């Protein structure tokens, strides 16, 4: 049985939350794909209106995070990451469902996301109700120069 997950949400660039997210990001994102953000990028986005960062923890240890940015009644899941040691235990799904719940509470009616076409997280997004919208060929460039397609997904939360 997994210990109780604690969800902490920040609407502004709280330094400790950013540091915790960066700890997870450094562990979770494979450098080959070049998808990890820098601390400065994360802090910059956190200053934008309608942006929130949720860090999920057990005790004080960060296990994962979600970064969401909203405009009017739509939002985009910019980043979702789970420490590799905690993958496959429901942490990512709990974090995604928490993000959807927080978006609904803010009056948001749809969430969008983009993901590398070979990312295993696609199964989680589809399981949670996200629907495929379109493919962007060669959208991501890995650190090795290889291009990777992006898939766009959307969930309607009015239901």
- Could you give the residue numbers annotated as active site? 114, 125
Please state, in angstroms and rounded to a whole number, the distance separating the CA atoms of residues 19 and 146: 29
Per-residue exposure over 56-87, b if at least 16 CB sit within 10 Å of its own CB, e if not? bbeeeebbbbbbbbbeeebbbbbbbbbbeebb
Structure tokens at 137: 């060929």
Please state, in angstroms and rounded to a whole number, the distance separating the CA atoms of residues 76 and 108: 10
Q: Which residue has the tokens 């899941």?
A: 77
Rg (CA), the chain: 15
Strand locations in 72-156 (E): 74-82, 110-116, 131-141, 147-156
Please state, in angstroms and rounded to a whole number, the distance separating the CA atoms of residues 134 and 154: 10
């Amino acid at each position: 049985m997994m210990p109780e997950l604690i969800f902490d949400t920040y609407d502004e660039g709280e330094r400790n939350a950013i540091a915790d997210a960066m700890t997870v990001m450094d562990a979770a994102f494979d450098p080959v794909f070049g998808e990890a953000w820098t601390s400065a990028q994360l802090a910059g986005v956190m200053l934008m209106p309608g942006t929130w960062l949720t860090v999920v923890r057990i005790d004080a240890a960060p296990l994962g995070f979600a970064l969401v940015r909203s405009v009017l009644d739509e939002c985009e899941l910019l980043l979702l990451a789970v420490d590799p040691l905690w993958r496959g235990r429901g942490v990512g799904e709990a974090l995604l469902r928490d993000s959807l719940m927080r978006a609904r509470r803010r009056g948001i009616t749809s969430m969008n996301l983009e993901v590398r076409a070979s990312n295993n997280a696609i199964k989680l997004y589809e399981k949670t109700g996200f629907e495929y919208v379109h493919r962007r060929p060669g959208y991501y460039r890995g650190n090795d120069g290889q291009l990777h397609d992006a898939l766009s997904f959307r969930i309607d939360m009015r239901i």
